[in-house]
Amino acid sequence: MSPAERPELVIFDCDGVLVDSERLAVKIEVEVFAELGWQLTPLEVAERFLGVSDADYVAMIEGEMGRELPEGWLSGVNERLRQAFEEKLEPVAGVEAALTALAAAGLECCVASSGRPEKIRHSLALTGLSEHFGDRLFSAVDVGRGKPAPDLFLHAAAVLGYHPSRCTVVEDSPIGLQAARAAGMAAVGYDGGLVPRERLGIGGVSVIADMAELAPLLLNS
């Protein structure tokens, strides 16, 4: 089901929606979990951890393993991700054209991601997408609860001056879509191939597999 009416603010997740980072990240996470003695498949990693904040990520891993992670573990993982991104990160295919079309139609766009602020800025800079958002960047560190709580999306809308009913969220994770619906916002699920499509079409959420579909979907609402 499409959003009921054209939004005024489109809120984008970053990883997997704007930048094609999830495949790189999942590959590295499979490796680092194996080093901890925890064997997970790429699908299991995606389904467990896609879209979660750093704090929730660490808590989930420590809860599963029943012990604290080694000191500096997360920093080491983030450094491996940073190196992989600098070598291989690309924008999601078609997303720049979608952003240009939405801006031309007068819709405002922002980013609301579970990633750290510096990671968001770095990813957008590497892929040439920074100019589409300016300082309209929001992170899970800005709020008390990460996704699937609605706090981050509500915070972004409030700062930019939009009622939740005038916002549409674009997400590639079930917990991100859950957060959008909890915020009272319309949502579009982007099927990037890591999460089964049926997991994205929750609660009547529209699902697209190509970013070329996004602008027509939102502008024709």
Q: CA geometry: angle at 54 spanning 40 and 163, to 5°?
A: 120
Q: Say if residues 95 and 129 touch (Cβ distance below 8 Å).
A: yes
Contacts within 8 Å (CB) and 24+ apart, 81-88: 81/21, 81/24, 81/25, 81/28, 82/119, 82/122, 84/24, 84/25, 84/28, 85/19, 85/21, 85/24, 85/122, 85/123, 85/126, 86/126, 88/24
Q: What is the CA radius of gyration of the chain?
A: 17
Q: Catalogue the active-site residues.
A: 13
Distance from C-alpha of 99 to C-alpha of 205, rounded to nearest angstrom: 20
Would you say 78 and 22 are in contact if contact means Cβ atoms under 8 Å apart? Answer: no
Q: Using CA atoms, how far apart are residues 221 and 190, in angstroms rounded to an integer? A: 17
In whole angstroms, how far apart are CA 84 and each of 7, 33, 78, 164?
35, 17, 10, 36
